Each structure stands twice: as C-alpha cells, then as structure tokens.
Amino acid sequence: MCDMRESADVVVVGAGVQGASLAFHLAQRGTKVLVLERQSVAAGATGRSSGFVRMHYDLRSDAELAWASFPYFQRWSELVGDGDCGFVQTGFLQLVTTDLEANLRANVAMHREMGIETRVVDAGVVADLVPGAITDDVAAAAFEPLSGYADPSGTAAGFLAAARRHGARFMSGCRAVSIDLQGDAVVGVTTERGSFATPIVVDVAGAWAGEVARTAGVDVPVQAWRHDTAYFGLPDGRGADFPIVIDEMNEIYFRPEGHETMLVGLEGGNEIGGSPDRPMAGLHSGAVEDMIARVCRRVPWMEEGTLRTMHGGQDGITPDQHAILGAAGPDGFYLACGFSGTGFKTAPAVGLCLTELILDGVASTVDISAYGLERFAEGRALVGDHPYGALWR
C-alpha cells in the first residue's frame, strides 16, 4: 500500500503503447512519472493491434502524426534504445474504386507535400505488388514503399523500459479508482493499492478511458469497440512477398506476418458499446467464413490457406473515429484516448506532442489542438478534406 506522501509530477493511467510513449517522452525530459496499469503492459488494445506503420490518412493531422512517428520505428535503437519495436518494411497499399479515386489522388498529393514517399499506382502495379491478386475493380491505389508493420507489445515494452531507465515508475495490477480533486484542480489519484499525490493526470486508459474520466467529472464520448482478426497459414509455395493492403471494396485488410502467415482483419461488422470488462468472445465460425470469403475475393490463392489462430481486440472509439487529445475538465487533467483502433502507428508522436503540451503549454511537433474534447459539443467532427468515409462499419 501507499499513501499521499508518495507523489509524481505526472501520473499516466494506462500502459498501452500510447501511455508508454508518453511516459518515455516525459521522463526523457526529467519529469517524475508514475504509470498505473490495471493489468500489464500492452494488455488492452495494444496487445491485439495489427501493428500497421503507414502514413496514409485522409485527415492531414493524422498523417502528420504518423509521419512524425515513423523515424522511431525506423531508428528505434537510436531514438529509444531499449527493447525492439520489430519493424518490418513491406510497403503499403490503399485500394479504391472509381468513386474515391479523386480523393485518393488528392490525399497522395497532400502526403507528398509533407515529404512522405508515396505515389498513385494503377491496377497493373497492384497486381505486380500482390502476386495473383484480382484487380478488375481497382481504379487506383496509394503505394508507400517504406511502410510496414511492427510488434505492438514489443514497442510498448520498449518505450516503458526506456521510460524507467529515465526514472519513471511503473505499477502493474493497479487500477485507478478515481481522480482526486481539490476545487477545480487535480491533486492525486486513488487506486486499488492506495493514493498518489500529483498535479497532473493523463487518461490513456483505452476502452476504460470514459470510466476514468467520469471520476474527474468529465464526460468523454468513448465506447468500447471490438474488432476481429485472424492469422492464416500461407498456401504451399506462396511467400510473404506482398505489402500491407487496405481493401476498401471488400471491407478487409491483410498483411504478411513473418514468412509463412497472413494476418487478416475485418473492417465491417464491428461491435460497439457494452462494458469493456465483459469477456472477449472468440470468433464464431460465420465470422471466420466471412473473413475467408472476403480475402479470397482479392487473392483467390488464399483458398488453400489454413486457419492458424484468431482473436478479438478492444479499443475505445469516438463518434468521428478520431482520438481525443489535450486538457479537459479540471486543471491538470488530460485525455489521450479514443484512438479508434488506429493509434499504434501514431503513438511515438502523440506521446511527444502531449509532453510538449504538458511541459511547454503547446504541442510544437504537430498541431493537435483540433483533437480536443470540446469538438463534439461544438459540432466539429474531424473529417478529412478528401474523405474515404468511416473505416470501421
């Protein structure tokens, strides 16, 4: 047990990749950080993430956060130093039909203006990049040759190890019960293992973020969101020589996993709402058959693949499917939640930007002001200038 004599400059609630990144950046600047985690490192959304590292978004600020994060995955040992993020460069493809081709071209132009290596390719190039793919319905695709995937749990563990090397403290199995206030200011956190004094709390609790925020008197529109993924063994004679593919037409995505496996995820049929504490149900046979049918429409050779394992993941989702970042409610209370299943690739930059906001008063790496909680009350949903529509359906 502990009491209020134990203190920290900042308490981070949640040890997924976002919380671990924030702890690293804060501790790197000499801040006394305490990370509280109800279970263990990467036990929530991070541990079930598909691990994409790509920059293609229809919202400029999302692309900017992903682009500012990219060097961390490429130069992990230099910029972080502990653990291994496990980055694998595969390339990335975003496929669209004719109705979204103009939007894709505009988004690629925006990304190129930012310095991202990307280009528009036609169906023939897609067929070359994904051997054996059916591309009759592909009007165009965005191709990022430098993108790939990384190990989400390893990334979170590495960030946290580096944070601890810089002096951060980590407590697992320590659920935050309430944010303690004095007047309209944060003064501490009460947990199942005692209380801690702090003037600043950052709610990075994933699907539990709304529950934590309510104890500070803050209403956050974050619901639990569940998403199905599976791993399939590649057919004999098929190598993992294909990029990450987001297939808008079939509402599916897939990527290689190692040398003999394909990870597949559904974009449609997601479960939104309900308690984040309810047990995670396994994929039912109908969902698996649907997943197989959808991926085989794009790559028919996967009909000879074999199911290896499957699981559901959980994150917090917002009404516009974009994160909530910044100060909210009482003085000293900050939000970093509602990443809506796409937060892994932006975690390095989000942690850096929040550190700048907390310590310097403004985020200078990327302007994150549009991600504030107040946008929902003000009717300012985050939507790209050339949108593709909701990712999760």
Residues 6+ apart with CB under 8 A from 291: 228, 230, 252, 264, 266, 283
**pTM, rounded to two decimals:** 0.96
The pLDDT, as a whole number, for residue 282 is 66
- Annotation: CATH topology of 88-147+224-313: D-Amino Acid Oxidase; Chain A, domain 2 (3.30.9)
Domain boundaries, the chain: 1-87+148-222+318-393, 88-147+224-313
Q: Can you give the pLDDT of all 393 residues of the chain as single tens digits?
A: 444 558 999 999 999 999 999 999 999 999 999 999 999 999 888 988 999 999 999 999 999 999 999 999 999 999 999 999 999 999 999 999 999 999 999 999 999 999 999 999 999 999 999 999 999 999 999 999 999 999 999 999 999 999 999 999 999 999 999 999 999 999 999 999 999 999 999 999 999 999 999 999 999 999 998 888 899 999 999 999 999 999 999 999 999 999 999 999 988 777 889 999 888 776 666 788 999 999 999 999 999 999 999 887 889 999 999 999 999 999 999 999 999 989 999 999 999 999 999 999 999 999 999 999 999 999 999 999 999 988 776
The pLDDT, as a whole number, for residue 392 is 74
CATH no. of 1-87+148-222+318-393: 3.50.50.60
